[in-house]
Structure 1
Amino acid sequence: MQESENTSKSAKIGSTNIELLDGGRTSDHIVITTCQRNEGAEKQESSDETDIEDRLLSAICKGGRLGAACYTLQTGELQVLEEIMDSGPEHQIFQSLYRQTEPVRVILDSKSQNTFIDVVKNAVFHNGEMTDARCKLFFVSSKDYNYEACKRRIYSLALPGEPSACSEEQRAIFLRTVLDFSQTMSVHALGALLRYLDLNWSNLNMDLHTKPHFMTLKRISLLDIVLMDEDTYRGLQIFNTQAHPSGFKRGVQGSNKEGLSLFHLFSKCYSKVGQARLRLLLRHPTTDIETLRQRQDVIEFFMKPQSDSIMRNICSSLRYIKNVNGILAKIKALSAKAFVWKSLYNTLYNAVVISEICENARRASQYLDKIASFDTNKLYEMALYMNRIIDFDLSKSEGKFTVKVGVDADLDMKKQTMASLHGLMSETAKVEMERLPSFIEECTMLYMPHLGYLLGVRAWSDHLTLEQKELPDMKFMFQNNDYIHYKSKGCEELDMIIGDTYPEIVAHEARIMMRLTTIILDNLATLATLIDMCAELDCLIAISKVCKEYNFVRPTLSTEKVIQIKQGRHPLYLLTCDNFVANDAESSREAGFVKILTGPNASGKSVYMKQIGLIVYLSHIGSFVPADSATIGIVSHIYSRIESTECIAAHMSAFLIDLKQSLEHMVVNGAPVYLYRAVPGSVESSFAGQLAAASGVHRTVVDRAARVRQAIANNKLPEANPRKARLYNMIQRMKHELLQTKYN
């Protein structure tokens, strides 16, 4: 950034901004420098990463078999679901997939079976009411799901990492390594999604000059998922998304916040990819006992005090890990800003560092050993290339991809020529600013192919006539949106002196950038795999911190039908109260599988049931559990029907209401004090009278209820209520008087 001042006017010379479009060609113009009358604050560098990920989900279900494909607009990631049985009418697998992907558009075959359409509509529209305005449902012709047509679209798919200059047969072999073409439902879903993207890309991306970029194609499987419906997720408070209280902001993406929930408890990840992976991990409890034990080993290792230094080093590198698919999608589309390249380098470098740090812990866990054993040679070479080629400091100051001196001799020569003329351009901008009328606050020096250097001025008023656009000593050229372009004397001098030197530098650096991009894309699959492992490691470290802080223990996983919990606790009570009565729970062939839980209102039944469900759930994501010990048998489903009405006026979630009812000691009017201990046997009294009295019900009503209950227990009719008899006599007397008045 260069700045200059004179006695009459203050001018600021902005940095160069280069815009490139697909194919390496320059855009309609190249901004050389900007001059302002009043010096302003420099713009802050924006973040290169966004939380927003818009996904499209294509699904087809026939004969009880589900196929699906998903595409993320921002990152170019393609995911294909391995074909799986999903019978109606519930279609639980699709519901789990929908909650994992959280799509903004669902693409459906118009001839799908009715039960499947009903489930999709219910998921998208929430029982017919379109409360989630983000997601929309689109029906496409069944012709789009033709198997051969879908197969041809997939074979035409261009993916990074495929063999260069390969034949059609070689490409087919390559695609078969990432997609099983015998799974017809998956082929149907992916082919229909690709066709939808081709037809609607301009509307989705708001750009007529680009086409869909596909960075990766991954297979995802739900064969191991523990099925849970949304009522169970809500009842167990695993997620608790709260809408913004303002009606104006309600429904706006990013306005919601997470309330008291298990996700909120574990949200201690250092990277955004880790945070996103945590949500996916909580949405995908697994029955794969080997995967669960590997996660437990990692959590156990990081809970040890001697692992603190390793954990700190890993966490310091995790901060720089970004979604490389999103970064490379921008780079491939030639829309990446300078700091995006820096983010890619930081991600690449720190991913290699994390792999090397795990060398010291590889014996503790098979998962850590997998990260430590990862072949990072190609990634190291990529980082070395980037460090030797890119001048990150100059890229930041100039706002464009800038190559270091010494990389290319021809480029260095062009830059030396340009450096000697850079002062001339700055001086030209200042001179032109002096010539312009005082009501113009800013001018831009830009270069356009075939027209040379031009002076750009923002329109100072709306609906200017051609005569009003004329300026002294300036030749009006054209107006583009808000900017009016002129050919000035200074521009003509630059055409003569500099010519095409600057565009040649930009084009030369663009060619180097494209060669570097090709090398990176060739190794994208390797980098993406390591980033994915780092994201899961971030999740497990976050979970280990919570487990260590609250003294969770490692559960014993079993293939037997058993749930045995000693001194179990509710994991979310830790955030809301100081005291909690722990309880045992046992379910087995010997102890019985079905339990009937009885007790008076507000004695803690719901919280007791929830804590059992949460402990079982935590065991199926690989976490430790809040108990003294636990043996958990692997289950295939977790369901609950626990409902609580939330009170907006009380500013409490349903979970807080449950805790308030269960944990507050009622000491007014002789109310009972519950010990919240579950014991074998049955309850002989509901304590309804004591609870009613404690809630403010009049004593006469409570006493009358007690007498009625006693009479029923003795198989007798209760004595007449004298107050009721008096009321009856009064009504009869009023009735008699009204009738007499009518006839008289």
Structure 2
Amino acid sequence: MANRPHETQNSLEENLGQVMSLCWEKGKIAASYYDLSSLELFTCHEALDHSPEFAMTMNLLRQVKPLHILASGPNYFLRELLVYCHLPRDEDLGRYKVKSLRMAALLPLIIFPQSEKSLSANRRIILELNLPGMPGQLVAADRAAYVESMLPLHQHLVVHSLGALLQYIHANKSHLFLGLGSDVVVSDLKVYKLQTEVPMDDVTMGSLQIFSGTNHHPSGYKEGENQSVEGFSIFRLVDRCFSRLGSKSMKMILSHPIREPEKLNSRYNTISWYLSAKNSDKLQPIKKYLKNVGDISQVFRNIVLQPENIKNWHLFKKIVYNGYMVLKSCQEIGTTAAPNTLFAEVAEFIEDDNYILQVLHVLDRVVDLDEELSHSKFSVKMGLDVDLDEKKKLMISIQNSIQEGVQNELKELSSCVGDISSYYIPEVGYVIKVVFYGEQSLVAEQLNQNFTLVSRSDEAHYYQNNHCKELNEKYGKLYSEIREHESRICQRLVSFLKERLPGIQGVVKLCAQLDCILSFAQVADEMSLRKPEILPKKTLNIQQGRHILWALRQRMVPNDFISGESNRKLVTLLSAPNSSGKSVYLKQVALTAYLAHVGSFVPTSATRLGLLDSIYSRINCPESVYGNNSSFLTDVRQLGKVMTNSSDRSLILIDEFGKGTSLLEAQALLASCIENLVKRGEKCPITLISTHYADIYDIVPDKDKDAISIKTFENITTKNGEMISTFQLKEGRTVRNYATKIAGVKQFMEEINKRCTDGGNNLANIKVRLAVFMIWLRLHGQIIDYQKLMDRVCVHLLR
């Protein structure tokens, strides 16, 4: 896969993480979280979230990965959060409960109470919040009206979660590296609805390889190890972004599949325009500017914390300028040339770009970004403030007078003394910097007769003479007066930028999103991907589909999947031996649906689908030693989550259920799940089940069989009796016993017989050999009852 263009750039700053507040009550969840790096505040409307799985909560936690969690709700909800935090489920909740968030211990999980008293207190704290874009000097009634227009304060769970979050941040600012004065700084406010997303759990994301390293190590001790290294995954494939901000935005897009037709069609149309003939050259200026668009929120945070650092101001102006140039470039493409695309959406900002030009003009007018860069100090340009200019001119004249006087005194030493300049060092005063040539000791000895050495370095010595001392007594406070004057101007400038930051953030985020969609377009061009068609009805019609990752390594046999249109059977049962391509087929169907919901083209010849509201799977079965989860227990829990949370607009994938238990138990459980899904009728989710149980279809009640579509893979048998899969899907079912036909099984059986003979025909030895043989058969799709087989062996031995 191609290298990402931004991999050679320097990182801005590591993400400090997020603090999240969750409130769950009577099947509803509300959440708020604060980004410590960008100073952005996010609030979610109340949404349905059923117990005991709490799918919406777990999906949100997976997406945000908060540093600290504040939570309120019943004990069974809180214990699920303990498990998420890798704490024992039976841990005493009392140690995490606090009466006041101002006294909260800095734990990964903090439990706060809900009451009418806390509701009113939280509402008051929210109304006192300084939101971005809020007009200044509002009376209490107008402030309340403004805040309520921005936030859903009629939902009491939102008030609890947001108020508790603000209290916690304010009380623990030093721990959270915020040092931002008395108020909580909010650079931007985002309010969104969880219902617009397509929930996917960690297991499903890991099974589909959206990100590498998603699955947990079974022992637990390697939790979180090597998370920064991205291996073979969807993210690695599609991340061709030109900037680090684009790469960060790509992770957000892949973590948040959506079901908003307007947004998805805008992304599709942008990719289509990119793939059109003669359009790639028009994007060259945009690509150049996108490389220099960074995280403006993080840079602004650095300015708030370190306003004196001129490098932060340089970076801020660079990002604003390049973001503005992206707007101009998109305007040149024009809404008529690329309507209903992200280009048109970005170009709309140019109609109201006065605030961006105003920011650039103010930065040029106020901040001296050239002269003081080497000093790394914020400096105000000459000509802005008359009083400040007079003080600076006096400072310059003093330094010049010192320098001229010293140069006259040191004429005799001109051959040994290099550069001579004057500086002002706080707490020392005016000094003379002398750089030596040749032997320093003799020259320094002569200088010490008329000058006082106050400091030295490897490069130079710093001296004071009587003239310096006189100026220190007369103008010693001049430098501090200049810095204080510039500091006041700097604070006013920060306030000016804070008011306009939301608009600038909107531009920057659109640039990052455009960067991501251009990456999608590049992948679509390289891999011949096709645009999916979104329909209002429930359907998933995939023609000539391929697994997008598998296709990178070898040639694939394309296959179709139809459910909901010409095929009204919503449950598809795929039975075939192992190594015939069942798991790859399931994943390629899921990946096609997933990619369509993040706005990417898909690896098919044609795709028609109705938007899904969730994707659930029972594909990967991660055992856990430290979590005390056996293979079968994990299997059952995953399947239970799928059956409980799925709706009529869900996509369900079940692969090889029942490996961890007996044949009859596994068949009974799987058949009961199929029966439950079929009985839902029109509300049955789109379901794809693969199994090596050839007779599972016979166990399903006859009245339900008409609602099930039966598929298998075509297999051929070689002259040597070995079975090979063609990976071509076809109608029908597997009814034959293929265990003895699979390539290599005969040699394996001969080796077992030979070792049993060499080891002696004792019952213990035969048990071991048979157990190994059954494991091998199980891996190749043939299940044999071990006890029945052992009974036959015992009868044979007794004879």
Q: Contact conserved, 1:58 with 1:106, CA < 8 A, in 2?
A: yes
Q: 1:454 to 1:102 in 2, by over 3 A?
A: farther
Q: How far, CA to CA, are the matches of 2:286 and 2:319 in structure 1? A: 13
Q: Deviations over 1:420-461 (max 9, x none)?
A: 444788999999xxxxxxxxxxxx998557x86799xxxxxx
The normalised TM-score by structure 2 is 0.69
Q: Does 1:582 align with 2:558?
A: yes
1:79 Cα deviation (Å)? 1.0
Alignment of 1:393-542 (within 5 A): 393-422=370-399, 492=469, 495-496=472-473, 498-542=475-519
Q: Deviations over 1:81-137 (max 9, x none)?
A: 11222221111111121122110000012xx1133213322322277599xxx9911
Q: How far, CA to CA, are the matches of 2:180 and 2:465 in structure 1? A: 36
Could you say what secondary structure the match of 2:121 adopts? helix
Higher relative contact order (CA 8 A, sep 6+): 1
Q: Does 1:239 align with 2:211?
A: yes
Q: Contact conserved, 1:669 with 1:694, CA < 8 A, in 2?
A: no
Moved more, 548-557 or 90-99: 90-99
Q: How far, CA to CA, are the matches of 2:622 and 2:128 in structure 1? A: 53
Q: Name the residue aligned to 2:725.
A: 674
Q: How far, CA to CA, are the matches of 1:694 and 1:676 in structure 2? A: 20
Q: Contact conserved, 1:668 with 1:694, CA < 8 A, in 2?
A: no
Q: Which amino acid aligns with 1:84?
A: A
Q: 1:593 to 1:114 in 2, by over 3 A?
A: same
Q: 1:252 to 1:597 in 2, by over 3 A?
A: closer
1:69 Cα deviation (Å)? 1.0
Q: How far, CA to CA, are the matches of 2:199 and 2:25 in structure 1? A: 21
Q: Name the residue aligned to 2:242.
A: 270
1:544 Cα deviation (Å)? 1.0
Q: Name the residue aligned to 2:647.
A: none
Q: Name the residue aligned to 1:434.
A: none
Q: Name the residue aligned to 1:683.
A: 734
Alignment of 1:286-365 (within 5 A): 286-335=258-307, 337-359=309-331, 360-363=333-336, 364-365=338-339
Q: Contact conserved, 1:689 with 1:702, CA < 8 A, in 2?
A: no
Q: Name the residue aligned to 2:593.
A: 616
Q: Which amino acid aligns with 2:67?
A: V
Q: 1:549 to 1:511 in 2, by over 3 A?
A: same
Could you say what secondary structure the match of 1:528 adopts? helix
What is the aligned counterpart of 1:121 among 59, 82, 86? 82
Could you say what secondary structure the match of 2:135 adopts? coil
Q: 1:488 to 1:376 in 2, by over 3 A?
A: same
Q: 1:78 to 1:571 in 2, by over 3 A?
A: same
Could you say what secondary structure the match of 1:627 adopts? coil
Q: Which amino acid aligns with 1:547?
A: A
Q: Which amino acid aligns with 2:19?
A: L
Q: Contact conserved, 2:307 with 2:378, CA < 8 A, in 1?
A: no
Q: Does 1:84 align with 2:57?
A: no
Q: Contact conserved, 2:205 with 2:214, CA < 8 A, in 1?
A: no
Could you say what secondary structure the match of 2:572 adopts? coil
Could you say what secondary structure the match of 1:347 adopts? helix
Q: Name the residue aligned to 1:629.
A: 606
Q: How far, CA to CA, are the matches of 1:73 and 1:323 in structure 2? A: 13
Q: 1:596 to 1:513 in 2, by over 3 A?
A: same
Q: Deviations over 1:180-236 (max 9, x none)?
A: 211111111111111111222222227596653222222122111112222111111
1:329 Cα deviation (Å)? 2.3
The RMSD of aligned alpha carbons is 4.3
Q: How far, CA to CA, are the matches of 1:255 and 1:498 in structure 2? A: 57
Q: How far, CA to CA, are the matches of 2:346 and 2:490 in structure 1? A: 30
Q: Which amino acid aligns with 2:362?
A: Y
Q: Contact conserved, 1:271 with 1:322, CA < 8 A, in 2?
A: yes
Q: How far, CA to CA, are the matches of 1:429 and 1:571 in structure 2? A: 74
Q: Percent identity, aligned pairs only? A: 28
Moved more, 309-318 or 378-387: 309-318
Q: How far, CA to CA, are the matches of 2:798 and 2:528 in structure 1? A: 64
Moved more, 583-592 or 232-241: 583-592
Q: Deviations over 1:480-513 (max 9, x none)?
A: xxxxxx9988885662364122222222322332
- Contiguous gaps of at least 5 residues in structure 1: 1-45, 432-443, 456-472, 478-485, 647-657, 730-744
Q: How far, CA to CA, are the matches of 1:304 and 1:530 in structure 2? A: 26
- Contiguous gaps of at least 5 residues in structure 2: 1-8, 92-105, 410-421, 433-449, 455-461, 624-655, 657-712, 755-769, 778-782
Q: How far, CA to CA, are the matches of 1:718 and 1:78 in structure 2? A: 64
1:639 Cα deviation (Å)? 0.9
Q: Contact conserved, 2:335 with 2:344, CA < 8 A, in 1?
A: yes
Q: Does 1:392 align with 2:364?
A: no
Q: Does 1:196 align with 2:168?
A: yes
1:633 Cα deviation (Å)? 1.8
Q: Name the residue aligned to 1:371.
A: 346
Q: 1:638 to 1:160 in 2, by over 3 A?
A: closer
Q: Which amino acid aligns with 2:523?
A: V
Q: 1:427 to 1:690 in 2, by over 3 A?
A: farther
Q: Does 1:556 align with 2:533?
A: yes
1:50 Cα deviation (Å)? 1.8
Q: How far, CA to CA, are the matches of 1:103 and 1:315 in structure 2? A: 33
Q: 1:139 to 1:723 in 2, by over 3 A?
A: closer
Q: Which amino acid aligns with 1:120?
A: L
What is the aligned counterpart of 1:73 among 18, 36, 39? 36
Q: How far, CA to CA, are the matches of 2:178 and 2:301 in structure 1? A: 16
Q: 1:339 to 1:213 in 2, by over 3 A?
A: same
1:308 Cα deviation (Å)? 0.9
Q: Deviations over 1:297-340 (max 9, x none)?
A: 11111222422123222221112222222222232334462121
Q: Which amino acid aligns with 2:546?
A: R
Q: 1:509 to 1:327 in 2, by over 3 A?
A: same
1:688 Cα deviation (Å)? 2.1
Q: Contact conserved, 1:227 with 1:638, CA < 8 A, in 2?
A: yes
1:701 Cα deviation (Å)? 5.3
Q: Contact conserved, 2:399 with 2:423, CA < 8 A, in 1?
A: no
Q: 1:590 to 1:534 in 2, by over 3 A?
A: same
Q: 1:296 to 1:386 in 2, by over 3 A?
A: same
Aligned length: 615
Moved more, 198-207 or 72-81: 198-207
The normalised TM-score by structure 1 is 0.73
Moved more, 200-209 or 523-532: 200-209
1:172 Cα deviation (Å)? 1.4
1:620 Cα deviation (Å)? 1.3
Could you say what secondary structure the match of 2:197 adopts? coil
